Structure 1
Amino acid sequence: MADTEPKVVRNEAANRYELWMGDTLAGQAEYKLTEAGTAFVHTEVDDAFSGQGLGSILARRSLEDAASRDEVIVPYCPFIQAYLKRHHDLDAHVQWPTPKHQRG
């Protein structure tokens, strides 16, 4: 593999952030734009790339991009929730869902 550096891009047409390893789609973080903000609803990394910390890279870069766009982050995805509970640098941009919120 010539290019093994992970690259994360926002694919607005598909409502997801994509994690690319070279020319291979290795993972994605799906979101929905809602009145409350950008709701992260599902994150996954392909099994072929598991155990390499790529999920954390995908989460961090996706969340940083959303924050840089001054979007409110609403984490429904359990992986994104777990990431945000361990990393507090984006707390000012996060609106935690409450039980009354329905998924996107």
Structure 2
Amino acid sequence: MATEVRKNAALERFELTADGAPAGYIEYQDTGDERGLVHTEIYPRFEGRGLANVLIQATMDASRAEGFSVLPLCPVALHFVNTHPEYISLVPQRSRALFGLPQ
């Protein structure tokens, strides 16, 4: 399955397509140098294929490239960070305890 993630700044979200069809999105809110990830949605016909991980990883990588730290407010995004420790460094140290992440 070919996937693509694009930032839609007008709607404050990253959008995922799978084989050219809309498959989901993650909404964000930028404040200063922090990007809050507030809601992840994978459309029902695409669930169970690991696409949330594809979407969140691309969002985290783009956030890093844009110079943002990340606040995983969405439970799906928080689970991703918990299971991909290489992304914990994107969460500000002062906020990690709030999310139950290692310091």
User: Do the structures match in fold with TM over 0.5?
Assistant: yes
Residue 86 of structure 2 aligns to a residue whose secondary structure is coil
**CA–CA distance in structure 2, aligned partners of residues 74 and 53 of structure 1:** 21
1:68 is displaced (CA, Å) by: 1.4
Residue 59 of structure 1 aligns to a residue whose secondary structure is helix
Flag structure 1 segments of 5+ consecutive residues without an equivalent: 100-104
Q: What is the TM-score of this pair, normalised by structure 1?
A: 0.84
Question: Per-residue CA shift, 1:27-85, capped at 9, x if unaligned?
Answer: 00000011361000000100000111111111111111101111010110000000001
Match of 1:53 among 50, 54, 73: 50
Output the amino acid matched with 1:26: A
Counterpart for residue 72 of structure 2: 75
| 50-59 vs 15-24, which moves further | 15-24
Q: Are residue 32 (structure 1) and residue 16 (structure 2) matched?
A: no
Q: Aligned residues: percent identity?
A: 26
1:24 is displaced (CA, Å) by: 1.6
Flag structure 2 segments of 5+ consecutive residues without an equivalent: none
**CA–CA distance in structure 1, aligned partners of residues 30 and 40 of structure 2:** 16
Residue 65 of structure 1 aligns to a residue whose secondary structure is helix
Question: Per-residue CA shift, 1:74-98, capped at 9, x if unaligned?
Answer: 1100000000011011222213373
Residue 89 of structure 1 aligns to a residue whose secondary structure is helix
Q: What is the TM-score of this pair, normalised by structure 2?
A: 0.85
- The aligned length equals 96
Q: Is the Cα–Cα contact under 8 Å of residues 36 and 74 in structure 1 kept in the other structure?
A: no
Q: Is the Cα–Cα contact under 8 Å of residues 18 and 27 in structure 1 kept in the other structure?
A: yes
